[in-house]
Structure 1
Amino acid sequence: MAEQATTEATTALATEATPATGTAPGTPAAEPAPMFRLAGVDKVYTQKSRTVHALQKVDLTIPAGQLVAIQGSTGGGKSTLLQMLGALDRPTTGTVTLAGQEISTLGDRDLARIRARDIGFVFQHYNLIPTLTAQENVEMGLAPLDVPAEERVSRAAAALASVGLADRASHLPGELSGGQQQRVAIARALAKRPKVLLADEPTGNLDEATRDDIIGLLEGLWKAGLTIILVTHDSAVARRAERRLRIHAGRVTEAA
């Protein structure tokens, strides 16, 4: 019964995060905008006297509602690609579009607003504040959105319930297992009801059983309608994605 309740809460939360696409009767349905579209994206860095082509001619479309895994060797461009998708960086050339809005030319303030409102982030190192409870950590994720205090409390509680941690809301991170801490981090991302969840090695610090537990949670969110893009070195994790991409020397290809 507890597992069923968690699944129902997860589905409800993810559904809230997914915009409605219905049209009036008799109105032809418009082609929905993809969640991401990258066109001709290059990213070039200069390190001392060396030029680094972190991304090269990336053309990529990710429809809304996909679970996408990105793999590749260290230094191949995975982190740079995730930064582009997460509005954390701009391309040297090319365009990046999120849900129909071009974000590659926006200023810092607009990009910060998009990160706060539309994108949920989950990292390998949970990034929880050790002196705050699970509930308070999740509430902190809503601070940039100016959500009223009462609503912050209710949304954080709902997010924790959706990841199966309603009974751990008052616990500090040091009182939680690694898997539970990652669930809190996922709840923090979900509480703002993002359009997309970006996860960077979300199971990198976890044992095999806990890894499978966290991926099962992410799969549940995806099946409820949330777009999820994750970077992973773990092929067992990548195989559970709907779509797999590989990036090597800055070039993105579809994996078999």
Structure 2
Amino acid sequence: MYTLTDVTKTYVQKKRTVTALSRVTLEIPTGQMVAIQGPTGGGKSTLLQMLGALDKPSAGSVVLGDDKVSGLADSKLAAIRANRIGFVFQGFNLIPTLTALENVETAFARSDVSRDEQKKRSSDALESVGLGERGDHLPAELSGGQQQRVAIARALVKEPQVLLADEPTGSLDESTRDEIMELLEGQWRDRGLTFILVTHDSSVARRAERRLYLKGGVVTEA
């Protein structure tokens, strides 16, 4: 479970203080699928960064399970990101010179998992997203939907507890969007993940169990 209590995030922009999040108090139960919507600049990406242990609040606390993420040292935050949280982004973020299989294997950087086990688990992850026969293809040889499938496999290969997705279908056409969402929902159910996604697409948001709306740094239930 995520528990956020009075989370505030401010930063200085052009000599003025900007509030990205304002006293956000929120609980997200383990295994829930949550969609976050709201206008550009409303704080959605900032909230996702807090949930992903990528940033710390200016005030308040973020707790994941028994760990107060907002109070941990950077080394411990890195361990949480590496082992408990998977990330999927709109831009895929694949390395163009690596094959699909090698891109998935990058999730094991600084891991003590053996090379043979890395290859096996990465191959299995590609199989689970329908790309078992495309492991030797470079990103440029794959469609946008296939590249996002590789990114999903990379996010899930280390069997995280949480999947965070920032506009995961934003670069895809409508048909491919629906395919990717079906895949993500299937992985969420099969793996018992806590799945939190940011989206501007209401048809994507409606698929979630719960919808949050974020505007001016303030969260409301949609």
Q: Report the structure number with the largest CA radius of gyration.
A: 1
- Aligned twin of 1:232: 199
* Identity fraction in percent: 66
- Aligned twin of 2:169: 203
Deviations 1:99-130 (A, max 9, x none): 22111011111111111111100000001111
- Aligned twin of 1:251: 218
The runs of at least 4 consecutive aligned structure 1 residues that moved more than 3 Å come to none
Find the aligned partners of 1:146 and 1:72 in 2 and give their Cα distance: 40
Find the aligned partners of 2:160 and 2:35 in 1 and give their Cα distance: 18
The equivalent position to 1:62 in structure 2, one of 19, 28, 31, is: 28
Find the aligned partners of 1:101 and 1:107 in 2 and give their Cα distance: 12
Find the aligned partners of 1:237 and 1:84 in 2 and give their Cα distance: 22
Find the aligned partners of 1:227 and 1:194 in 2 and give their Cα distance: 9
Find the aligned partners of 1:215 and 1:108 in 2 and give their Cα distance: 32
**Is 1:110 matched up with 2:76?**
yes
Find the aligned partners of 1:158 and 1:142 in 2 and give their Cα distance: 14
The one-letter code matched in structure 2 to 1:247 is L
Deviations 1:53-72 (A, max 9, x none): 11011011000111110000
The equivalent position to 2:54 in structure 1, one of 83, 88, 97, is: 88
The one-letter code matched in structure 2 to 1:43 is K
TM-score (norm 2): 0.98
The one-letter code matched in structure 2 to 1:141 is A
The one-letter code matched in structure 2 to 1:161 is E
The equivalent position to 1:183 in structure 2, one of 144, 149, 164, is: 149
The one-letter code matched in structure 1 to 2:94 is L
The CA deviation at 1:144 is 3.0
- Aligned twin of 1:126: 92
Structure 1 runs not aligned, ≥5 long: 1-33
- Aligned twin of 1:155: 121
Find the aligned partners of 1:250 and 1:189 in 2 and give their Cα distance: 27
Structure 2 runs not aligned, ≥5 long: none
- Aligned twin of 1:213: 179
The equivalent position to 1:242 in structure 2, one of 193, 202, 209, is: 209
What is the root-mean-square deviation in Å for CA atoms of aligned residues? 0.8
Matched residue SS, 1:174: helix
Matched residue SS, 1:104: helix
- Aligned twin of 2:19: 53
Of 183-192 and 101-110, deviating more is: 101-110
Aligned residues: 221
Deviations 1:40-86 (A, max 9, x none): 10011111321111101101100011111000000000010000000
